[in-house]
Structure 1
Amino acid sequence: MRIAIALLIGMIFGLGIAISGMANPAKVLNFFDFAGSWDLSLIFVMGGALVTTAIGYRLVFGARAEPVLEAAYYLPANRMIDQRLITGSAIFGIGWGISGFCPGGAIPALGLGYGSTVLFVGAMVAGIALTRFALNALSPPARA
């Protein structure tokens, strides 16, 4: 049941990304082209997402003490703005600005036939794996 609901939610999200045009990297890159073909639609998509999320969080957390399909809500425990958050955010933003894809737009775009999407998603997965490997290699060993 959980997998079916997650699939349905993912399909709705992907459909929204595709309909809004955010799966098209050229549309996203045009947002950053102030002197050329500037496209302001990304602001409206992001604003709509923020408003929807804020309302959704208020409704869900205000109505239920625990989720329907889990024992508890899994929320981030770390609320610190630290070097890892800033570095990751900067890398995300640079990658998004260069490629026109973010993970939320790239996954639905896989089904739209853009050739560069497969390359981007492959590089994203490789980057995630490399980062996890590096963090595990750099972290001190656990004590018994």
Structure 2
Amino acid sequence: MRTRGAILLATVVTGLALGFTVANIGFGDYAELNRMFTFQDLRMFLSFAGAVVIIVCAFAVLRVRRTPERIHGGVVPGAVLFGTGWAISGGCPAIPIVQVAGGYLPALVTIAGIVVGVRLCRWANARYFHVDRGSCAL
């Protein structure tokens, strides 16, 4: 049985390793992200594909079995909003943290936008949609 402390430590270590890697390969750079979204450079797409292959292999080795259920109704509009925000701001929710750590302070605006967006998601969900509580992170 795993302890919470061991899981927290593993999460922190892998998060730091991911942040270090992302920062050093340039994926925190807005120009790099722009080249990806405009199909001028496929390096990032190939990196994501490689990551999917690695996680599939890891799941196979660890024998992780998940049976997919019906796709939640909020997945498609959420994905569109997520992708639009990523293309405009130059970062998914983790990248602005990498950008701030690298000295790019305008990323603080993106972080503020993420926090506001999550709060709006929770409010709209509670008021109008009433879907599961895990659908709005943070």
Q: Which runs of 4+ in 1 moved over 4 A?
A: none
Q: Please give the residue correspondences for 1:121-140 in structure 2 after superposition, counting only pairs within 5 Å.
A: 121-139=111-129
- Structure 1 residue 119, shift from structure 2 partner: 0.7
Mapped to 2, the partners of 1:6 and 1:52 lie a distance apart of: 18
Asked whether the 8 Å contact 1:23–1:106 carries over to 2, the reply is yes
1:32 to 33, 37, 44: 37
Structure 2 partner of 1:69? none
Once the 2 structures are TM-superposed, how far is the Cα of residue 21 of structure 1 from its aligned partner?
A: 1.1
In structure 2, give the amino acid aligned to 1:118. Answer: L
SS at match of 1:135: helix
Percent sequence identity over aligned pairs: 25
With the length of structure 2 as denominator, give the TM-score of the two structures. Answer: 0.79
What is the total number of aligned residue pairs between the two structures?
125
Q: Between Structure 1 and Structure 2, whose CA radius of gyration is higher?
A: 1
Once superposed, what is the RMSD of the aligned Cα atoms?
2.2
Find the partner of 1:102 among 70, 73, 92. Answer: 92
- Structure 1 partner of 2:103: 113
Q: Which has the higher contact order (CA 8 A, sep 6+)?
A: 1
Question: C-alpha offsets along residues 38-93 of structure 1, whole Å, 9 cap, x if unaligned?
Answer: 2221112111211111111111226xx9xxxxxxxxx7x87322431100001011
**1:72 corresponding residue in structure 2:** none
Deviation at 1:30?
Answer: 1.3
Distance in 2 between residues matched to 1:55 and 1:80, nearest whole Å: 24
1:58 lines up with 2:48 in the alignment: no
Is the aligned partner of 1:23 residue 2:13?
Answer: no
CA 1:106–1:59: 2 relative to 1, 3 Å: farther
Q: Which runs of 5+ in 2 are unaligned?
A: 131-138
How far apart, CA to CA, are the structure 2 residues paired with 1:107 and 1:57? 28
User: 2:73 matched to which residue of 1?
Assistant: 83
**Mapped contact 2:99–2:105 kept (Cα < 8 A):** no
Contact map agreement 1:21 1:27 (CA 8 A) in 2: yes
Partners of 1:131 and 1:46 in 2: CA distance: 27
Q: Which residue of 2 aligns with 1:48?
A: 50
Please report the TM-score for the alignment, with normalisation by the length of structure 1: 0.76
